[in-house]
Amino acid sequence: MARLDNGWLLSIFLVIVPNTKGYLAQQGGPPPPTRLECCIPYEEDSGVMVRSPIQCVWDPGPPSKTPSIYTLHLESADNSVQKFNGSSTNAHIPPTLVSSHSELTVWVEAKNQHGSASSPRSTFNTAKIMKSATPNITQHTLAPLEIYWESKCSKQGLSEGECKVRHRVFPGVSWAEVEEGFQVVYCLENVLPYSWYEFQVRCSCLGSSLSDWSKVYKVESPGAAPVGMLDVWSDCQLSPQSAECALMWKTPPGWNAGSEILGYVVTLSRLNGTVTLVNASTVDKASDQLTCDKKLCHLMAKNVTAVNVSAYTAYGATTPACLRIPLTAQCNRGEALQLSMSAERLLVSWNPPTGFINNQSKYVVQYKQAGLLKTPAKGFDWIRLDRTQINATLTGQFENYTAYQVALFLVSPFGASDHISSAVGYVHQGIPPKVPSFEVVKVKANSVNVIWKPILLPQRRGVIVCYQIGLDSQRVHNLSEHQGDKDGSFWLDYLNPSQNYEVWIRAITVAGPGPKSTATFKTEGFGTVPVTDTS
């Protein structure tokens, strides 16, 4: 129920009643109702206005432990009082009990077994609480964007008053209400292209209160040429044995695109000096060159040194965005990244790099799921930031016990990227698996050399704190995990000649140690041949 516009009330007299709320609350009685308002809604049957009951609404206050009965009291000009039962928030007065120009006084009583409480009294003239008929938006134009509506004041025998308009971009944007008064037309300025707008109108006829809001009227604004540049990035470490890259860019939002994206023009500069032009259509579903979803497009290419990408619509194209592809491995030149991860959020912070930096350069923070080679669009994202920032927040669907490689880059205005720092993060860490390969390779009388292959990053389930190698519980060696994916090697000394041993290795994360991989051997003696066995 819409609230009354107080400007249309002839008069309202509030009678202050004794404050019994505190006393009744102690006894379990109901709080007094407040904000009592009444109106006569507009109704019609086959286009003819019909008499409607007076609708009164109020605020019952905070809930009481004991249910209450609410009664609306109506006092006429002759001081007679009639009562009407209602719900906890509203009640109706039949139209046959009042005339069209009578002065009435109403109040609400709440009552339960512990006591009663009444609202202040409100006095009104029935001629001034008639609600205006709800208007109907009938048509619109696009250039400019105007809406037109039909008022129904004449059906109520009243003159036209003023109307209010509200609009919003659909979906997800709150209503913007226009304060100025209008009558039959409203023009919206500064329209976003290629967007859906929703409109509603409410009117007041002279001598009546504001109507309800009209039904929602939807309009799609016309398209325009796209603006800005695409956010282009690359992942060129999908396969170390090839020079293949996943070239990616984020699809622009509708208002920025101007209209439907029909395709992308991609210019590829290659190592041999040639330039290839690719027109990747989003309309031609048979094309296998381009893969796009709602947020991201990616294109696979080999031996690429630079890429330019622009999106085009029926109205024009974006300014080409340039990205240079690094030809050599990049090394960290900044301090370590600080990571904090949850199932849906990645927080990254860093100290700014030293040395000369172009004022127009920007940071790029990217993450990728370790070991994800075939689908770069999944488990991969990036964000572009102003150079003055030293932290970033990225969203995604991050899995437990899964390694995510996070990297920070500095990108020049010409598209050249400089790798600043990298780190590996986990949402939750788990116990690592068994070391995949462990063996004895050199056996002497008093020492032995063991080698192993480290657990690969996608299988680690956590940051490996160290590897432990031991012969027994008294001789355990903790080796820091600093070689990455390179093979490890270690000499065990102070052994006895001609003796059988069992050596083991295991990885440790913050969640605990993983299972052991073992190998057996016999040290050399006088004239003996060493024997080794692995399991």
136-220 CATH choice from 1.10.3720.10, 2.60.40.10, 3.40.50.1000, 3.40.50.300? 2.60.40.10
- What pLDDT does residue 241 have? 46
**136-220 matches 437-534 in fold:** yes
Structure tokens at 418: 């400089």
H-helix or E-strand containing 27?
helix 21-27
User: Which strands make up the sheet holding 176-182, listed edge to edge?
Assistant: 176-182, 163-170, 196-203, 217-220
Was domain 231-324 assigned CATH 2.60.40.10?
yes
| 463 contacts 429 by C-beta, under 8 angstroms | yes
What local confidence, expressed as pLDDT, does residue 338 receive? 94
- The three-class DSSP label of residue 7 is helix
| Ordered DSSP codes for 137-153 | EEEEEETTEEEEEE--G
Judge contact between 415 and 322, C-beta under 8 A.
yes
Is the preceding peptide bond at 171 cis, omega within 30 degrees of 0?
yes
**Four-point Cα dihedral 411, 414, 416, 420, nearest 10:** -20
What pLDDT was estimated at residue 346? 96
Tokens of 230: 């695409």
357: helix, strand or coil: coil
* Short-list 464, 469, 477, CA closest to 505: 469
The per-residue pLDDT for 336 is 81
The residue type at 18? P
Where does 437-534 sit in CATH, by number? 2.60.40.10
For the purposes of burial, counting CB atoms within 10 Å of the CB of 413, is it exposed (0-12), middle (13-18) or buried (19 or more)? exposed
What pLDDT score was predicted for residue 373?
A: 60
CATH topology assigned to domain 338-425: Immunoglobulin-like (2.60.40)
Both tokens assigned to 137: 């938006």
Query: At which residue do the structure tokens 């409109």 appear?
Result: 199
List CB contacts of 352: < 8 A, sequence separation 6 or more.
390
pTM above 0.85, yes or no: no
Please report the beta strands in 244-360, taking only residues with DSSP state E, as ranges in sequence order. Answer: 244-250, 263-270, 275-281, 291-292, 296-302, 304-313, 316-317, 321-324, 338-341, 345-349
Domain ranges for the chain, please list them: 6-128, 136-220, 231-324, 338-425, 437-534
Residue 124 confidence (pLDDT): 82
Which architecture does CATH list for 6-128? Sandwich (2.60)
Query: What is the tens place of the pLDDT at every residue in 448-488?
Result: 999 999 999 999 999 999 999 999 777 899 998 765 567 89
- What is the full per-residue pLDDT of the chain (535 aa) written as tens digits? 344 444 333 333 333 333 444 434 445 688 999 999 888 887 766 555 566 788 899 999 888 778 899 999 998 878 889 999 989 999 988 887 766 667 889 999 999 988 899 999 988 877 778 888 889 999 999 989 999 998 888 777 778 888 999 999 987 788 999 877 788 899 999 898 888 999 999 988 887 788 889 999 999 998 888 888 999 998 876 444 456 788 999 988 766 767 888 889 999 998 888 999 988 888 775 556 778 887 888 888 888 889 999 999 888 899 999 999 876 555 555 568 999 999 999 999 998 877 667 777 899 999 999 877 655 657 889 999 998 899 999 999 999 999 999 999 989 888 888 888 899 999 999 999 999 999 999 999 999 999 999 999 999 999 999 999 999 777 899 998 765 567 899 999 999 999 999 999 999 999 999 999 999 999 998 555 544 454 4
C-alpha to C-alpha distances, 148 to 128, 170, 201, 215, nearest whole angstrom: 27, 20, 10, 13
The count of other CB atoms within 10 Å of the CB of residue 276 is 11
Q: Give pLDDT, residue 24.
A: 43
Among 44, 41, 63, smallest CA distance to 53 is for 41
